[in-house]
Structure 1
Amino acid sequence: MKHPVDAHVGQRIRHRRWMLGITQQQLGDAVGIKFQQIQKYETGMNRVSASRLWDIARALDVSISFFFEGLSAEDAAEHPAQEKGDMPRDLMADKEAMELIRSYYTIPEAQRRRLFDLARVLSDVA
């Protein structure tokens, strides 16, 4: 059975890899393991050892703490709380949210600011 902390760390690995636009194969090559092992880490099926997490952090150009950001004591419990409303519990694991973020940052800054203001107004109305 997956431990919630292992699943969280795996999601953070997947999120960072995806944001950098690299494949599981490329990450595996960078840390000296097969892509299947990266797959198992990302799903939380296998735990990442401290030394391997160190290697992954270096390959993804983040600090070790990046993988634990957003993890609360409640999240780490064996029985995490239910999701609230329609918002996914983990936005970084939601493919649609990640595509939206990636697309958002390709928009020129002035238009991006206007889009942000529009989204804020629309969310206030809803």
Structure 2
Amino acid sequence: MSDPINQLVGRRIRLIRTARTLRQEDLAQALGVSTTQVQKYENGTNRVPASRLFKLSQLLEQPVGWFFDEPKGRYAVTAVDPEALQLAQTVMAISDTPKRAALLRLIHALARR
């Protein structure tokens, strides 16, 4: 059984990689590892070395600490939900900032019921 911290870091890697529509192959090449190694990182099977985590943070434009932050609160997504990712990608594709903000207000209102 893999370590819970390795699983958390792996989920966060997968989350940001898919949100940025990067393939595992692309990330592997940028890190200088095999695609299998990226899969093992994302599954939490293998621990990500500190130097590689630092490189990941630079490639994915996230602070190192972000990989350890478990989302909390009402809207937390603890697993990488494909529908949540699709929604986030679609919303972020709206270039008109006021329209995107209006859509987010609508989503929040619907979530409150």
Shorter-chain TM-score: which interval? 0.7 to 0.9
SS at match of 2:93: coil
**Mapping 1:1-126, distance limit 5 Å:** 1-70=1-70, 90=78, 93-107=80-94, 108-125=96-113
Instruction: Assess if the C-alpha contact under 8 Å between 1:88 and 1:94 holds in 2.
Output: no
54 and 117 in structure 1: CA distance in 2 versus 1, 3 angstrom threshold: closer
What's the TM-score, normalizing by structure 1? 0.76
What TM-score comes out, normalization by structure 2 length?
0.83
User: For the residues of structure 1 that align with 2:39 and 2:100, how far apart are their CA atoms?
Assistant: 34
Preserved contact between residue 105 and residue 112 of structure 1 (Cα < 8 Å): yes
Aligned residues of 1:6 and 1:44 also touching (Cα < 8 A) = yes
Return the index of the structure with the highest Cα Rg.
1
Query: Structure 1 regions of 5+ residues with no counterpart?
Result: 73-86
Number of corresponding residues: 111
Whether the 8 Å contact between 2:71 and 2:78 is mirrored in structure 1 is no
Give 5+ residue unaligned stretches, structure 2.
none
Q: How many percent identity over aligned positions?
A: 34
Q: What is the aligned-residue RMSD (CA, Å)?
A: 2.3
CA distance in 2, matches of 1:89, 1:115: 19
